[in-house]
Chain A
Amino acid sequence: EPEVTQTPSHQVTQMGQEVILRCVPISNHLYFYWYRQILGQKVEFLVSFYNNEISEKSEIFDDQFSVERPDGSNFTLKIRSTKLEDSAMYFCASGGQGVEEQYFGPGTRLTVT
């Protein structure tokens, strides 16, 4: 069964460093998303991406964040200068023809020290 994959599973970085989180969505999906979950809290929407552009982004998704689909298979989230409060689990999700169902990857745990 097709699934969304994410790498790395755990990333540790120092405050101020840039990180890139990688996702491989399900191959025929057209809609891509990033969410984050701070430990013990609810899952929060960051950004949605369709037709090679951002379709919606949240207040969390400020100028420090960017997304890219560089080669038609990967979908990346970049954080330019990480802060301690960026420590969280980051989930990638993808959806097919309709946006109704989203399939989540296993997540990347980002720890900023």
Chain B
Amino acid sequence: AQTVTQSQPEMSVQEAETVTLSCTYDTSENNYYLFWYKQPPSRQMILVIRQEAYKQQNATENRFSVNFQKAAKSFSLKISDSQLGDTAMYFCAFMKPGNTGKLIFGQGTTLQVKP
């Protein structure tokens, strides 16, 4: 069975600085998808970024980028130029391709951006 682990329960960063959130996963699959979701205090789940395992290039979305290390089964999220609005819980998630689309989430990392 697939598992997703986020080992940092809480992190903080100064506004405008860069922060990296860690995620590791365990799977025997070769092809899969990885995601980062943001959950602000409103508790809405917002997709931040996605990575396909067959792509070697790391995904980037504006200030958000990932460092995907397939052999190490590591998928970290880097937030550059942190903003106060980035304060949220961040969840790493795994999906095995198929017709079910089941997402398996990590425990989450609470990120606080300080002014």
Contact = CB atoms under 8 A, between A and B. Distances in A.
A77 interface: no
B114 interface: no
Contacts of B97: 99-100
Interface residues of B, number: 25
Contacts of A58: 102
Contact of A55 (B45, B52, B99, B103): B99
A56 B91 contact: no
Interface residues of chain A: helix, strand, loop or mixed (majority): strand
Interface string A42-83: 111100101000011010000000000000000000000000
Contacts of A1: none
| Contact count band on A | 20 to 34
A29 to B, nearest CB: 11
Given A100-B33, A101-B47, A106-B44, A44 B99 contact: no
Contacts of A48: 100-102
Contact of B99 (A37, A45, A50, A89): A50
A55 B97 CA distance: 13
B101 A42 contact: no
A24 to B, nearest CB: 15
Contacts of B107: 41-42
A99 B101 contact: yes
A42 B91 contact: yes
Interface string B67-107: 00000000000000000000000010101011111111111
B62 interface: no
B28 interface: no
Contacts of B108: 42
B44 A99 contact: no
Contact of B50 (A41, A42, A45, A101): A101
Interface of B: 33, 37, 42-47, 50, 52, 91, 93, 95, 97-108
